[in-house]
Chain A
Amino acid sequence: MKTLLFLVPLYLLPLVVRSDVVLTILIFTFVLSILAIGFNVVFGGAGQLTMFHAAAFGIGSYVTFLSMLRFGISFWLGYLVAVLIVVLISILIGWICFKFRLKEFYFAVVTLAFAELCRLVAMNWTSVTNGTLGMLVLEKPTVWLPGSGVVRIEQTVPWYFLTLVCLTGVLIFSVLLMRSWIGRNFSAIRLNEDLAQTLGIDTFRYKLLAFTISNVIASFAGALYGFYTGYIEPAYLAVTQALDAIAMVLLGGVSTILGPVVGALVLTSLPHLIELPAEIRVAVYGMILILVILLMPRGIVGLAAGLSRGRVNAA
């Protein structure tokens, strides 16, 4: 938990920094960190490479918005509907994959297949989703604050605090999760599934749990993202979105708590620090992914942890 203290200065940042650009970059960082954390729960935690997190991200956006539209409910209730749907889909897909003991490669391919199916649905069910044109989101999340009553989150600064609070919540949850007996079981499955089974761990159940939690978190990021940008489209469910999240986690450090956040920060701010045409940016992401895997498999956080341990030992 101590590692989360770094969040404190972030809460005070808007008092010092007025730049809209910086705050916007941070908002995107916070939201994409949530997506990356979602991926990390099932990949860095339980060791299953999933390609479904972007689909969950997109489903979070679409279902939250559509629920608000159709049922006239608030953002948060709309998101609860999304959670319900994501949980059901995760259990269905997870059951299919894990019951049949599909090995890692097949799991990645099947989740990719289902993600593509979801994207095709989003693209073609034009009566509901408006297809490739996407949907404009004019509604905003509302929050009840003591003193001000119900507040619509519209300006940059309120969005900043909303997303920061959400990220804090997700981080606290992920710390609790990974340090609990559930997280221990995840690690056992990731490191040696056969051994874990002989010690009495029902690997099917825990893989399913990891997959479901991962998608719920990813859908939360999606809901926030869609409402912040004001626009929802099928590309949210595309493989490229999934790969972005994977790159963030790998760059920041797999299986660490802060890794996804660090990775998200670097990759989100990169296009603003270095002016690059869109195509080259994608190429750079690809290069980063390759270099990280080959040279820096433990990511930035892992590297830093290794260095500090080295220093301690030398002292």
Chain B
Amino acid sequence: MLLKVENLTKRFGGLIAVSDVSFAINKGEIVGIFGPNGSGKTTLLSLLAGLLPPSAGRVFWKGRDIAGARPDVIAALGVIKTFQNPQLFSELSVLEHVMIASFLAFTRMKGHGRLRSFLSPGKGEAILRARAEKALTLCRLQDSSSKPAAELSYGEEKMLGVAMAMMCEPELLLLDEPASGLGNDEVHNLESVLRDLRTHGTTLCIIDHKVAFLARFADQAIALQQGCKIAEGLPHDVLADPGVVKAYLGRSHHA
């Protein structure tokens, strides 16, 4: 078991965004979290990534409680999150984005002392650059590598976010609505990238409200509504759960 979430709660003043949520993610799984808008999905992911401090509850990563830890500490432990609205470094090129994201990989490289790297980038930089270009190629961005990231299309920006996340060598990748705003072609590409990641041992946790996308993809599904977990299990079963159907469609639906 990689990640164990226990009674996680987040309150914003009087509003309870995430309420007493508990679940577990095992290594190599693809877990899909879905629910209508306002169900607390993004808040949940932000809590896991350390961008928000929880009001209550614990988050165990490989047995260690990381609830409330700083985002960079959590990232260094192997948990990387992408953003629903692509976050960029304005002015910088696509390649520079991925090179910045190579920092964690850089810290893990043996034999390339940081001081030496300061004085002359040399071999370590070359290795990272090769990896960066590979990540870009996987995300079909290799032709734009020297373009300013601000010139990318929305879908390309989202894929850049995925490329940056990949460079961080994540053990658990939290994807916040990766498919939203993508055209069909791009969604297929995204799927193949994610399947690739899974083959390489990365555990994925994806939130999206495109139910179909998640359903054919995920091993496990968790349904949220108004901050509470209302169903959990195989995607097929969760989607058939009457509570889930009611949450999405607003009334009981007899198939």
Contact = CB atoms under 8 A, between A and B. Distances in A.
Interface stretch (A68-76, A106-114, A191-199, A237-245): A191-199
Q: Which of B70, B101, B119 has the most A CB atoms < 10 Å from its CB?
A: B101
A184 B100 contact: yes
A241 B251 CA distance: 69
Q: Which applies to chain A's interface (DSSP): helix, strand, loop or mixed?
A: helix
Contacts of B190: none
Given A181-B114, A203-B72, A196 B100 contact: yes
A313 to B, nearest CB: 14
A182 B118 contact: yes
Interface stretch (B13-21, B87-95, B222-230): B87-95
Contact of B92 (A176, A187, A201): A187
A195 B100 CA distance: 10
A202 interface: yes
Interface residues of B, number: 32
A192 B87 contact: yes
Which of B91, B92, B100 has the most A CB atoms < 10 Å from its CB? B100
B76 A200 contact: yes
B71 interface: yes
Interface in A153-201: 176-177, 179-182, 184-185, 187-188, 191-192, 194-201
Contact of A198 (B80, B89, B90, B121): B80
Contacts of A185: 100, 103
B100 A187 contact: yes
B89 A197 contact: no
Interface in B66-107: 70-73, 75-76, 80-81, 83, 87-92, 96, 99-101, 103-104, 106-107
Q: Residue among A185, A188, A194, A203 with the most chain B CB within 10 A?
A: A188
Given A195-B87, A195-B89, A197-B71, A176 B104 contact: no
B99 A184 contact: yes
Contacts of B73: 202
A188 B100 CA distance: 7
B104 to A, nearest CB: 4
Given A184-B100, A191-B89, A196-B100, A202 B121 contact: no
Contacts of A202: 70, 72-73
B164 interface: yes
B92 A180 contact: no
B104 A200 contact: yes
A128 to B, nearest CB: 37
A197 B75 contact: yes
Nearest to B87: A195
A192 B117 CA distance: 24
B31 interface: no
Nearest to A202: B72
Nearest to A182: B118
Nearest to B161: A195
Contacts of B81: 198
Nearest to B164: A199
B49 interface: yes
Interface string A199-224: 11111000000000000000000000
Q: Taking each of A176, A180, A195, which has the highest tally of chain B beta carbons within 10 Å of its own beta carbon?
A: A195
B49 A176 contact: no
A200 B121 contact: no
A22 B51 CA distance: 55
Nearest to B106: A181
Contacts of B99: 184
B168 interface: yes
Interface of A: 176-177, 179-182, 184-185, 187-188, 191-192, 194-203
Q: Which 6 A-B pairs have the closest CB atoms?
A: A200-B75, A191-B89, A200-B104, A197-B71, A195-B87, A180-B118
18 contacts: A176-B118, A180-B117, A181-B103, A182-B118, A184-B96, A188-B100, A191-B91, A191-B92, A192-B90, A194-B51, A195-B88, A198-B71, A198-B75, A198-B83, A199-B80, A199-B168, A201-B103, A203-B72
